Amino acid sequence: MASDEDGTSQRARERVQQVSSHIARAQSAKDDVSQPPTSRRKKNKQASASGGPPADYSDRLGEIATLEKLARTPDINHRGYARQKKAGKLWVRERVEALLDEGSLQEVGSVAGDVTWSKEKGEDGVEKEVIAAFTPSNSVQGYGRLNGRKIVFTADDYTLRAGHADGALLEKTLYIEKLALSLRLPIVKLVDGSSGGGSVTSIRKQGFSYIPPLPAFDQVIAQLNLGIPNLGAVLGPAIGLGAARVTACHFSVMAANIGSLFNAGPQVVKGATFEEGLTMAELGGPDMHCCNGTIDNMARDEHDAFGQIRRVLSYLPNSGFSAPPVIKSNDAPDRREEALRSLIPRRKERMYDSRRLITLVVDNDSFFEIGALWGTTAIVGLARLNGHPVGIISNNSESHTGGALDALGSQKLTKHLKLCDVMNLPILQFVDIPGYAVGTAAERSATMRHGINLAMAYYTTTMPVFSVVTRRAYGVAGGVMLDCRDPRMRVAWPSGDWGSLPLKGGIEVGHSYELKEAAKKGGQKMADELYARLETEYNTLTNPVRTANAFGVEQIIDPADTRPVVCNWISHVYDELMEERLAKRRAGTLHASFA
């Protein structure tokens, strides 16, 4: 019995001591709050001196600060850094600084990497773990702002393992891709290397080989179709997965002085195709990929590439659930442009500057062309009308086909239509199309197959389209561009010239029997006279005013009034139709697809 009482008393005393200890600590915390910060720091130091860790975690914060400082400080003696500078390239953190608004960087995974820890004795004689060396992951990622717009970004560090996955890049990249989708924030990808792709050394490190995965690509597809802007820049050799990541973007740009892109580098190519001595630029430089549509635009250098990314983003929403950003315009919406009246030559065979036409109609200095070096039979880009962002499409009469759409031109228009659709960008198009390109070269390049893919894009996208028929509209291609919406929103200029076939060639086909008979009866002279009479008759019949008489074209306008007409249209789209479209997309009843 006495033993039980002693045990109970002992437990009671321990409980009292425990409660007293809690009360004492609570009182101590109150005293700390009432004390100035310097007094609290002294107490923390005293706690550390007594053998315990500091209460404010200053030891661990110090480790983080040390690691971040090491990551932000380049090792100028490292061979990768020396190679980067010798190639004339910015270091990864210099790139991030050049891209983002000043002071806007909020890094994610700032201390990710390989740390070497060692043991050292402190002044108190106690052995502690300290940082001996640190190799940061070969990617800098996080949040930032572009002209005030919040974004997420990934930036490869080619100086460390050439951007391969065994440099601890992949996990961070996967996280940022998921973050962009979850937060519906634009993502910028600065690619230099394999961007998390594999390397032979990965096998050695893991101890086994593997079937190549493609992680996060489902998130990338979801971003593209949701209209979350994906903007990529090639700032060195983009290899394998790095090449795939930037090519998949809504918009991509390559720095001409340092960029290249390929499925595999020169050494692998040498063993596979026996092409020896290739440089990176010869294998996949800007002359290759900015001219075949793999990459949209070419930039002079890295800074120009960053400028183009900022410019493109200024026209785009954060996602397809938002409207494109409207800004105040200093260009009057009712501005008339007399120069447009004489822009189209009276002689149908002559060319004119389609880019000048675009710039005369849209807001001053607002036209940004995309893909100027490829698919040159068509011109596409972004612009503003009275501050409202729009997608621009135009045929190019100065191209080698005279404006007829070839395979690459159709591919270019298809991509642009899908871009505008997922970004909720209304489309203004200037139509002067003699049809699809013809001839053996056109047939060999599958012009009709790509032309029908273009037709599918026109008929499956849903953004409003306003067409200005500046001159020709012939054949299937003309019908695709001008009959894709019901009701049609279009006007024509008095230079309009349309039909199933152009008169040149069309008369020979339609009247081949009569012309042959005339040649048999009176020789070539009689056939030429008949042809001249037919041509005069058809030129009279193809007067666009006759088409308007039959309501075959809704309205022929004075070209000088084009800007007021399209500005009136775009204001209505944004004021009355845009919110309904956004509501349908948020509800999932209207779907847009880029990929």
Q: What is the pLDDT of residue 24?
A: 47
Q: What is the pLDDT of residue 311?
A: 98
543 pLDDT more than 80: yes
User: Which CATH superfamily groups domain 338-496+556-587?
Assistant: 2-enoyl-CoA Hydratase; Chain A, domain 1 (3.90.226.10)
369 pLDDT more than 90: yes
| Mean pLDDT within 4-12 | 50
Of 353, 349, 412, 428, whose CA–CA distance to 377 is shortest?
412
520 pLDDT more than 70: yes
Q: pLDDT per residue over 169-191, tens digit each?
A: 678 888 999 999 999 999 999 99
Q: What is the pLDDT of residue 195?
A: 53
Give the whole-angstrom CA distance, residue 443 versus residue 46. Answer: 85
Q: Do domains 58-313 and 338-496+556-587 have the same CATH topology?
A: yes
Task: Name the pLDDT band for 15 (thresholds 50, 70, 90).
Answer: very low
Which residues lie below 8 Å from residue 263, measured CB to CB, with a gap of 6+? 239, 240, 243
Residue 436 DSSP label? B
85 pLDDT more than 90: yes
| Under 8 Å between Cβ of 286 and 256 | yes
Which has the higher per-residue pLDDT, 161 or 198?
161
Give the whole-angstrom CA distance, residue 216 versus residue 234. Answer: 20
Residue spans of the domains in the chain: they are: 58-313, 338-496+556-587
**Dihedral (CA of 176, 180, 185, 191) sign:** positive
Give the whole-angstrom CA distance, residue 296 versus residue 252. Answer: 5
| Under 8 Å between Cβ of 202 and 166 | yes
Long-range contacts of 122-125 (CB under 8 A, 24+ apart): 124/49, 124/51
421 pLDDT more than 50: yes
HSE-CB for 324 with a 13 A CA cutoff: 30
Q: pLDDT per residue over 227-259, tens digit each?
A: 999 999 999 999 988 899 999 999 999 999 999
The SS3 call for residue 116 is strand
HSE-CB for 92 with a 13 A CA cutoff: 29
78 pLDDT more than 80: yes
Q: What is the pLDDT of residue 445?
A: 96
Omega before 487 within 30 of 0, i.e. cis: yes
132 pLDDT more than 60: yes
DSSP annotation string for 294-359: SSSEEESSHHHHHHHHHHHHTTS-SSTTSPPPP---SS-TT---GGGGGTS-SSTT----HHHHHH
Among 13-17, 61-65, 148-152, 490-494, name the one with the lowest average pLDDT: 13-17
CATH assignment, 58-313: 3.90.226.10
12 pLDDT more than 50: no
DSSP annotation string for 175-193: HHHHHHHHHT--EEEEEEE
Among 121-135, 219-233, 276-290, 571-585, name the one with the lowest average pLDDT: 121-135
Q: What is the pLDDT of residue 98?
A: 98
